[in-house]
């Protein structure tokens, strides 16, 4: 059954191909529909199955024509009009537009001028110096394409966490309903909440492998079976591969630890065990001080003939028991990246990671005043419904990188502030009047003194000139956080996962500057950004900086993006006190002023 993300992907492709063909207006309508479909809280395919056309058309941006296409795709797996467009423009648009600076219009022009359809075509043309000969291009653009080909290839094989994790939740719910399943959990990078994942890994503890695997591959949501055997099976759901592995319940904890990873964490853990006369593998923790541990000594292979079950078994049924047998505290999966977690566990200094329940508010959201879909009142009502104490509106200010002239002028900012004040006075929660200012190539934000004085919170973000070298990018961001008007540096790198890499900067230097000038660094929770990311959050916190986890929500449903931001901050060892939107209202007011 088609997922919301899969349906949204088809409309994003529609928009890209139409834009590549120089069609106006329609691409924006398809992008808006795609955004709302992707963020919709319920499976839209269920509406199709139930024949509930009204529920489909109730989704913002989905009218009769787009609803018809949704029904067609869910029922047939294709959309005739899209296939016709693909035949007219046979471009691998998603792959090619992952190159920084190559958008749909550029892709269309390269197709018409040079016949470029694929990344291989693009690479060959760049290597042959053909691109710089096309009007509007030059040697710098051509070199940029050469430099980014491998990035585009690599990210094209991975799925966004925000698309894969909801599917993983559905898989777990399905498995939990199978009588023969005693225990189940996700594993791999998705359990570590990495921002992109290769596939969905799921582990089951059962004494009846055959029954579990049979019911798994027959799940209604499965589009195709890739392979199956006595201990594992792989299927495809939409565009995502799901790998199931089954183990006996007594070894579930060992297998969960092993298959969660990361590889670097597991190697360090096994070496830690070896130093203590122990062996750790996917079957348990074994005391091998009196036996030969084998040629590798690290349990890195996965033999199933019993050769890895050597010595006295000390643990394996639970993951907590695995670490306890080594004299270690259990480590949350987000920390298992080999960045000091084993040492912290040994010394009893693991961080007390924040949770979703610690979040009291959000400082970065958008309304229909710029590129959002809803009114100020609707966004505030949704925030209030989530139990927040405070909520910030931060529509775009005009400036470089804001598409379609959707940024607010200083005059419009002042007009919006007046409306926000009225909503604040009538609301049960505190409402902050904010703006998302643009950090230009030199680190300036371009707001008038009058606008700055009227606002409660200024989120300063990069939207352009994202190809700067590390030194210039770091200096640019440091200059922004040094600006006394800036409260939060929004999505610092400007990256879009699987689309563009964004700025490369020194996270420690930025953290030190942010700490000195009392500017928070944002973890943007949009699953296409997750910017800052885990290691950058950890570097910033170690430097003394504070973090703001914001959703960048453009409609009420995307306030749920907070889930991704919290887990990303946890990957950076963030505790509640490190994150300003876990603070009480008065402490937040003091920080902002």
Q: pLDDT class for 4, splitting at 50, 70, 90? A: confident
Exposure letters 406-431 (e unless 16+ CB within 10 A, then b): ebbebebbbebbebbeebbeebebbb
What's the 3-state SS for 243-273?
EEEEECHHHHHHHHHHHHCCHHHHHHHHHHH
**For residue 226, what pLDDT is reported?**
93
**For residue 292, what pLDDT is reported?**
59
Closest CA to 60 of 557, 454, 568, 576: 557
- pTM exceeds cut of 0.75: yes
Can you tell me which residue has the tokens 């309304």? 367
**For residue 434, what pLDDT is reported?**
98
Alpha carbon distance 551, 561 (integer Å): 6
Alpha carbon distance 337, 265 (integer Å): 5
**For residue 403, what pLDDT is reported?**
61
Alpha carbon distance 116, 180 (integer Å): 52
**For residue 303, what pLDDT is reported?**
35
**For residue 150, what pLDDT is reported?**
82
pLDDT at residue 299 above 70?
Answer: no
Helix, strand or coil, per DSSP, at residue 556: helix
Contacts of 381 (CB under 8 A, 6+ apart): 556
pLDDT at residue 305 above 80?
Answer: no
pLDDT at residue 529 above 90?
Answer: yes
**For residue 1, what pLDDT is reported?**
67
Are 183 and 205 in contact by the 8 Å Cβ rule? The answer is yes
* Phi, psi of 439, deg, nearest 5: -85, 110
CATH code of the domain made up of 261-347: 3.30.210.10
Look at 108-112, 141-145, 343-347, 472-476 and tell me which has the smallest mean pLDDT: 141-145
Alpha carbon distance 12, 30 (integer Å): 7
Distances (CA, A) of 404 to 11, 171, 300, 463: 20, 40, 54, 13
- pLDDT tens across 193-213, in order? 999 998 999 999 999 999 999
Alpha carbon distance 419, 392 (integer Å): 13
The four Cα atoms 165, 30, 33, 57 give a dihedral, to 10 degrees, of -130
Look at 97-101, 181-185, 375-379, 464-468 and tell me which has the smallest mean pLDDT: 97-101
Distances (CA, A) of 466 to 160, 280, 347, 374, 469: 21, 44, 41, 29, 9
**For residue 405, what pLDDT is reported?**
65
Alpha carbon distance 408, 578 (integer Å): 31
Q: pLDDT class for 40, splitting at 50, 70, 90? A: confident
Closest CA to 432 of 476, 395, 387, 385: 395
Alpha carbon distance 396, 413 (integer Å): 9
Question: Which architecture does CATH list for 356-592?
Answer: Alpha-Beta Barrel (3.20)
- pLDDT tens across 251-265, in order? 999 999 999 999 999
Q: What average pLDDT does this structure show over 534-563?
A: 96
Alpha carbon distance 118, 540 (integer Å): 39
Q: pLDDT class for 23, splitting at 50, 70, 90? A: confident
Share of the chain above pLDDT 70, in %: 96
Structure tokens at 450: 């009058």
Q: What average pLDDT does this structure show over 142-161?
A: 82
**For residue 42, what pLDDT is reported?**
82
Q: pLDDT class for 99, splitting at 50, 70, 90? A: confident
Helix, strand or coil, per DSSP, at residue 550: strand
Contacts of 170 (CB under 8 A, 6+ apart): 221
Distances (CA, A) of 69 to 10, 16, 43, 75, 81: 10, 17, 16, 10, 9
Q: pLDDT class for 297, splitting at 50, 70, 90? A: very low
pLDDT at residue 361 above 50?
Answer: yes
Domain edges within the chain:
4-155, 159-247, 261-347, 356-592
| Cβ-based burial of 274 (10 A; exposed 0-12, middle 13-18, buried ≥19) | middle
**For residue 302, what pLDDT is reported?**
37
pLDDT at residue 445 above 90?
Answer: yes
CATH code of the domain made up of 159-247: 3.30.460.10
DSSP per-residue letters across 320-387: HHHHHHTT-----GGGTTTSSHHHHHHHT-------GGG--EES-B--TTTT-SS-HHHHHHHHHHTT
- Neighbouring C-beta atoms of residue 587, cutoff 10 Å: 12
CATH 3.40.50.620 is held by the domain 4-155: no
Q: Supply the Cα-derived Rg of the chain in whole angstroms.
A: 25
pLDDT at residue 145 above 80?
Answer: yes
pLDDT at residue 368 above 90?
Answer: yes
Distances (CA, A) of 542 to 521, 524, 574, 576: 13, 19, 10, 14
Are 184 and 175 in contact by the 8 Å Cβ rule? The answer is yes
**For residue 282, what pLDDT is reported?**
96
* Phi, psi of 494, deg, nearest 5: 75, 15
| Cβ-based burial of 456 (10 A; exposed 0-12, middle 13-18, buried ≥19) | buried
pLDDT at residue 113 above 70?
Answer: yes
Share of the chain above pLDDT 90, in %: 78
- pLDDT tens across 220-273, in order? 999 899 999 999 999 999 888 999 999 999 999 999 999 999 999 999 999 999
Mean pLDDT, the chain, as a whole number? 92
pLDDT at residue 419 above 90?
Answer: yes
- Neighbouring C-beta atoms of residue 442, cutoff 10 Å: 11
**For residue 101, what pLDDT is reported?**
75
Are 485 and 458 in contact by the 8 Å Cβ rule? The answer is yes
pLDDT at residue 571 above 80?
Answer: yes
E strand residue ranges, 208-315: 224-228, 232-237, 240-247, 278-281, 284-287, 312-315
Q: pLDDT class for 110, splitting at 50, 70, 90? A: very high
């Amino acid at each position: 059954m088609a997922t919301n993300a899969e349906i949204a992907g088809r409309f994003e492709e529609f928009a890209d191909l139409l834009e590549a063909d120089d069609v106006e207006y329609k691409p924006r309508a398809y992008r808006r529909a795609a955004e709302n479909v992707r963020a919709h809280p319920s499976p839209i395919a269920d509406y199709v199955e139930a024949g509930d056309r009204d529920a489909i058309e109730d989704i913002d941006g989905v009218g009769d024509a787009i609803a018809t296409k949704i029904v067609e795709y869910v029922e047939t797996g294709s959309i005739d009009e899209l296939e016709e467009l693909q035949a007219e423009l046979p471009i691998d648009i998603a792959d090619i537009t992952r190159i920084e600076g190559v958008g749909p219009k550029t892709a269309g022009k390269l197709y018409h001028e040079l016949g470029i359809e694929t990344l291989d075509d693009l690479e060959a043309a760049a290597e042959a110096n053909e691109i710089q000969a096309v009007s509007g291009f030059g040697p710098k653009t051509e070199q940029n394409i050469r430099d980014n080909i491998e990035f585009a290839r690599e990210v094209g094989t991975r799925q966004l966490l925000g698309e894969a994790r909801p599917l993983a939740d559905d898989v777990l719910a399905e498995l939990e309903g199978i009588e023969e399943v005693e225990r189940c959990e996700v594993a791999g990078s998705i359990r570590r909440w990495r921002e992109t994942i290769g596939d969905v890994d799921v582990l089951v503890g059962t004494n009846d492998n055959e029954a579990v695997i049979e019911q798994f591959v027959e799940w209604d949501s499965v589009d195709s079976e890739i392979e199956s055997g006595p201990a594992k099976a792989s299927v495809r759901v939409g565009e995502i591969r799901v790998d199931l592995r089954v183990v006996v319940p007594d070894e579930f904890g060992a297998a969960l630890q092993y298959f969660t990873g990361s590889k670097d964490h597991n190697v360090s853990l096994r070496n830690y065990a070896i130093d203590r006369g122990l062996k750790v593998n996917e079957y348990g923790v074994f005391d091998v001080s009196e036996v030969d541990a084998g040629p590798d000594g690290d349990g890195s292979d996965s033999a199933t003939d019993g050769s890895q079950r050597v010595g006295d078994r000390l643990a394996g049924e639970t993951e907590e028991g695995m670490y306890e047998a080594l004299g270690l505290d259990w480590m949350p999966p987000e920390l298992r990246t080999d960045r000091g977690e084993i040492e912290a566990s040994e010394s009893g200094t693991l961080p007390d990671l924040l949770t979703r329940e610690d979040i009291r508010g959000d400082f970065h959201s958008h309304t229909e005043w710029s590129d959002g879909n809803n009114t100020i009142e609707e966004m505030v009502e949704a925030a209030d419904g989530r139990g927040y104490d405070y909520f910030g509106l931060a529509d775009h200010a005009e400036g470089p990188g804001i598409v379609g002239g959707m940024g607010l002028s200083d005059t419009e900012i002042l007009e919006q502030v007046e409306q926000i004040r009225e909503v604040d006075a009538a609301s049960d929660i505190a409402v902050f009047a904010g703006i998302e200012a643009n950090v230009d190539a030199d680190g300036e934000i371009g707001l008038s003194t009058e606008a700055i004085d009227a606002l409660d919170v200024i989120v300063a973000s990069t939207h352009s000139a994202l190809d700067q070298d590390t030194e210039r990018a770091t200096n640019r961001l440091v200059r922004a956080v040094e600006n006394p008007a800036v409260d939060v540096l929004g999505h610092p790198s400007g990256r879009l996962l699987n689309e563009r890499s964004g700025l490369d900067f020194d996270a420690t230097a930025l953290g030190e500057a942010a700490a000195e000038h009392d500017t928070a660094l944002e973890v943007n929770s949009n699953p296409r950004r997750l910017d800052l990311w885990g290691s950058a959050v950890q570097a910033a916190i170690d430097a003394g900086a504070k973090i703001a986890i914001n959703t960048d929500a453009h409609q009420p449903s995307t306030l749920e993006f907070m889930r991704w931001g919290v887990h990303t901050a946890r990957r950076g060892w963030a505790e509640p006190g490190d994150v300003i939107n876990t603070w009480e209202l008065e402490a937040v007011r003091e920080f902002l002023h």
